[in-house]
Amino acid sequence: ERQIKQVTLGMSFDQFQSLFPQRISRGANKGDFGTLIAYEVAYAYYSFAATGAERRNDFTGTERVVTWFFFLNDRLIKVGEEDSWPSEADLKASR
């Protein structure tokens, strides 16, 4: 969770990779805008009381958070929920 707080839009993929060596590649697209790549990072934390998280293990009290990071030409342009690919407008705005 501490690493998530160090993420900033515009950071390079190399900076991201040093924070999250355990990232998982979730797909890529190549188009007129360049190369768009999605990575997933997941972490679990303990919560005594339910917080409404979808991925909660009520037996252990752990909740799992999944976040996707979208890079356009090796620069972070979007952070979001899984499979929340950037729109065409997002891609144009990040040029």
Q: What is the pLDDT of residues 17-60, one digit of tens each?
A: 999 999 999 999 998 899 999 999 987 655 656 666 566 556 66
> DSSP label at 41?
E
What are the tokens at 47? 């919560």
Q: How far apart are CA 74 and CA 95, in angstroms?
A: 12
**pLDDT of residue 10 exceeding 90:** yes
* pLDDT (0 to 100) of residue 9: 96
Residues with Cβ within 8 Å of residue 65, at least 6 apart in sequence: 1, 42, 43, 44, 45, 53, 55
Q: What is the mean pLDDT of residues 74-88?
A: 94
Q: Enumerate domains of the chain plus CATH numbers.
A: 4-93 (3.30.1450.10)
- Return the higher-pLDDT residue of 87 and 52: 87
Cα–Cα separations (whole angstroms), residue 5 to 19, 30, 36, 77: 10, 29, 23, 16
What is the average pLDDT score of the chain? 85
